[in-house]
Amino acid sequence: MRVLGIDPGSGILGWGVVEGDTSSYSLVDYGIIKSNRREKFSKRLLKIFDEVADLIWKFNPEVLSVEECFYATNVQVALKLGQVRGVVMIAAEKAGLEIAEYQPRFIKQTIVGYGNAEKHQVQEMVRILLGLNEKPQPYDAADALALAICYFHDARIHSIRPKS
């Protein structure tokens, strides 16, 4: 199974592709999508949609793993992030992907073992879990890889639970 993790951002959106199953997974690729903050926000959303659609076409994942909205002190930031998540999810739905959404705290708990982990801790654990020589850069890409890994760990937990 191939999973595309997306860490939504209106300036920098991180993405990472991981493939495997619930017992083993490996890195396919990762990177970022940068938006020009000087462009109209609607044009930035279109660029994000187009580039995520291109990633889906290029890597052919079965699943999109995306961060759920979090509570931001700045309402404008929260609204923009929600819109970015929306265009990412539309691209995934259009391609017929399964969509898994995770709270930031759950991702950190799953990857690091501590829900209040710092970005550099997540980055280091992603490096270890994927057997990389160096930490994935920037943080946005490492967070996207953490989202993809989180899907595999969550799927493993749900696959061994007795059915009720």
**Nearest alpha carbon to residue 26 among 157, 162, 126, 142:** 126
Active-site residue, selected from the candidate residues 67, 68, 98, 101: 67
Q: Do the Cβ atoms of 80 and 41 come closer than 8 Å?
A: yes
Specify the DSSP class assigned to residue 135: -
Specify the DSSP class assigned to residue 89: H
CA distance 128 to 135: 9
Active-site residue, selected from the candidate residues 7, 29, 68, 93: 7
Among this protein's residues, is 7 annotated catalytic? Answer: yes
Among this protein's residues, is 143 annotated catalytic? Answer: no
CA distance 89 to 28: 21
Active-site residue, selected from the candidate residues 29, 39, 124, 140: 140
Q: Do the Cβ atoms of 9 and 70 come closer than 8 Å?
A: no
Instruction: Count the residues in the chain.
Output: 164
Angle at 105 between CA 102 and CA 110, to 5 degrees: 75
Q: Could you give the residue numbers annotated as active site?
A: 7, 67, 140
